[in-house]
Amino acid sequence: MQTPPALTPASPSRLGRQDHVLRTDTLSFLIGAIVVLGAALPALAESGFRFADVDAGSLGLWENDRPVLVYRHDLVKPEGVPADRFRSTYIHPLYGLDGEVLTDDFPKDHYHHRGLFWAWPHVGVGGQETDLWMLKGIEQRFVRWLTRETRADAALLGIENGWYIGASKVMQERVWMTVHRATDTQRAIDFEFTWQPIGKPISLAGAEGKSYGGLTLRFAPRTNTVITTSLGTSKDDLYMTRLAWADLSARFAGQSASSGAAILVAPDHPDYPPMWLTRHYGVLCLGWPGVERQTFPPDKPIRCGYRVLVHRGSLEPAVLAQAYASYESAIKKGSRPQPGATPSPAPVSSAAPGLRAEALEDRVRVYAGDRLFTEYLLTPDGKYPFFYPVMGPRTGRSVTTCGSDPYPHHSSIFFGCDRVNGGNYWQEGLERGRIASQSVRLIKAAGDAVEFEQECAWQRPDAESPFTDRRRIVITAPTPDRRIIDFDITLRARGKVRIEKTNHSLFSARMAPELAVTGGGTLMNDAGDQGEKGTFGKPALWADYRGQWGGATEGVTILAHPANRWSRPPWFTRDYGFFSPTPMYWPADGSFELEPDETVRLRYRVLVHSDAPSSDEIAAFYRAWTGSQ
């Protein structure tokens, strides 16, 4: 057993992708450090959840002064452990409600077991067989944080990882954790996983004769172990058994009473209920897709949901069955509330949130109430300015993505163009062209709206700049479930400009994979046409992309103003989540040309919504914006 690190926050400057060595502090020192930390920061008792770095490769979460979990995002390399067992992207420790450590890491009987983790023993990629369970030929690596948000009733952690064979990324992995506030007896942690193969199909299978492969919970040393499943309590280990849930309760180190954790499988899980392996030496293993190999096509997400229920006591089968029935009912109703506590997503206030903005050196940050809505990024080494994240009003997750496969050059909500006088102001390196921010002026920083202006120069080394542009951006939040971004841009040609036919042009958005059509979402235009097949190339005043996640239906509507140069534009749409109102892929003469000093003004409105507006509601919203009939 590897002793967990002391939960003392590290300096934020230490956060990075460098390898680190796990500290070998004793468990008694760990508990002492937690007590000291709580005493040193008495204000935490009223502050709900908080994240802080434990060390350079680990992020800790507390509720008030109680530790909840540590996510190991960087490579863990303890002394005395074979190098082929080094790993990252898992949870350890997972704490009980009284601070006891429930999980084990690097246990000597199974060095590859690692707290709460997700891995498969058979992963096939392009004819090559690898083993993510035993870390042979393939590994998981942290890519970035998608969100880290805390509020009084819950904490939300979004993570993007990748599966790598050498330097090649073969799978994109997204993990969303909603950690609910603890009751007197329980804490619920909801997990939503999305895996998306990149470029090639990927096959997954569990272990022969046992089925393990998927979400797995390895428990710390303990006594008085009791395993209870949806089939009842059994002293025997279960192999290749289909279950809706399983629980392990025991007496853990330093505790006079029992506690434990259960894994509950969402009823919309693929092949529900999946197979399991349960072992009294201390492990609960999901076995999906089980011993029968399944192959998943590239660019189509795989989605699985679970709840980990941490609890005091050794729960009776009827109590666990009731906990599962509540979870199952909540999911079927479209939400995932915690028993006995505030549901998640949190109830929405009837009042529209006030807005405020911060103009920083490299971004404009906008809050709705006390929650981040978006950042408009102006990085000096970036291709162009763009909005990211763009948080859904209910879930606090970004409804858009940035840097995701396929086509990682898509950056959330952005404006750019390829093939402009031979330059590329859309993708590839900066030597091909970039749109550089020259100035930002914050006009209104708080109240019912945020407003700022920006000037940009389109630059390319050793070439004349084709455009300058001036942007006016206004952000409002008319209701608790809606956010609006008004984007008004005027392009001025600095010389004669020629834009050749291109699918990479003008105002665009790339949705989060979970909300894309390939992830189960919906794309629809103002005529009711749906999906890429129905909307590609069709003229429309607006198009809407939406999907379900985190207990809410969230999405983005882009509206193109009728006074735009190319009114009622055709749309370039993709089922993987991209959509853009642009005429540049369908030029009548093969290109568009502008004379020197000619200007083009384009206006767009982005509606970010959590209330599933109907087509009629969006049409009325469009008319109210434009004053049209």
Total-model pTM? 0.77
End position of a domain, from candidates 332, 348, 376: 332
DSSP state, residue 460: -
Kindly state the tokens that stand for 243.
Answer: 């279950």
585 lies in some domain:
yes
The two tokens of residue 299 are 């660019």
Instruction: Verify that 90 and 163 share a domain, yes or no.
Output: yes
| Number of structural domains the chain divides into | 2
Helix (H, G, I), strand (E, B) or coil at 401: coil
Residues 322 and 366 placed together within one structural domain of the fold: no
Are 497 and 463 contained in the same domain?
yes
Q: Minimal CA–CA distance to 596: which of 492, 474, 495?
A: 495
Q: Which domain holds residue 177?
A: 12-332
Q: How far, CA to CA in Å, does 357 sit from each of 221, 351, 541, 606?
A: 50, 19, 30, 18
**Nearest-angstrom CA–CA distance, 252 and 240:** 27
SS3 345: coil
Picking from 298, 283, 136, the residue whose alpha carbon sits closest to that of residue 216 is 283
Residue 1 lies in a domain: no
The answer to the question of residue 34 being in a domain is: yes
- Are 499 and 491 in contact by the 8 Å Cβ rule? The answer is no
* 267-287: average pLDDT: 96
- 3-state DSSP percent of the chain in helix, strand and coil, to 5: 10, 50, 40
Q: Can you tell me the distance from the alpha carbon of 535 to that of 542, in angstroms, rounded to the nearest whole number?
A: 11
Indicate whether 317 and 387 sit together in one domain.
no
User: Which two three-digit tokens encode residue 40?
Assistant: 């040193």
Report if residue 210 sits inside a domain. yes
Q: For residues 41-51, give the mean pLDDT.
A: 60
Those residues with Cβ within 8 angstroms of residue 477's Cβ, 6 or more apart along the chain or in another chain: 352, 353, 354, 355, 368, 373, 393, 483, 484
In the structure encoding, which two tokens stand for residue 250, read together?
Answer: 């025991």
Would you say residue 489 lies in a domain? yes
Least confident residue range of 14-28, 306-320, 607-621: 14-28
Rounded to whole angstroms, how far apart are CA atoms 63 and 49?
A: 4
Question: DSSP string covering 366-432, please?
Answer: EEETTEEEEEEE--TTSSS-EEEEEB-TTT-SBSB-BSPSS-TT-BSEEEEEEEETTEEESSS-GGG
Instruction: Look at residue 500 in the predicted model and tell me its pLDDT.
Output: 95
Q: Name the CA radius of gyration of the chain, rounded.
A: 26
At 479, the pLDDT band (50, 70, 90 cuts) reads: very high
Average pLDDT over residues 169-173: 94
Q: Is the pLDDT of residue 312 over 90?
A: yes
Question: Which of these ranges, 34-38, 231-235, 431-435, has the smallest mean pLDDT?
Answer: 34-38
pLDDT given for residue 337 in this prediction: 39
Residue-wise pLDDT for 52-101, tens only, equals 999 999 999 999 999 999 999 999 999 888 888 899 999 999 999 999 99
Residue 87 domain-assigned? yes
My answer on whether 328 and 376 are in the same domain is no
Domain of residue 437, CATH code: 2.70.98
Same domain, 300 and 417: no
Res. 468: pLDDT tops 60: yes
Q: What is the secondary structure of 519-576 as a DSSP string?
A: GT-EEEETT--BHHHHHTT-B-SEEEEEEEETTEEEEEEEEE-TTSTT-S-BEEE-TT
Q: Average per-residue pLDDT in the chain?
A: 89
- Of the candidates 362, 358, 315, 369, the one whose C-alpha atom is nearest the C-alpha of residue 339 is 315
pLDDT confidence band for 561 (50 / 70 / 90)? very high
Residue bearing tokens 């089922």: 575
Same domain as 492, residue 429: yes
Instruction: Render pLDDT for 574-605 as a digit per residue (tens, 0 to 9).
Output: 999 999 999 999 988 889 999 999 999 999 99
Q: pLDDT band for 11, please (50, 70, 90 cuts).
A: very low
Q: 121 with 68, same domain?
A: yes
Does 343 reside within a domain? Answer: no
pLDDT single digits (tens) 262-274: 999 999 999 999 9
| Pairing state between β 139-150 and 449-459 | unpaired
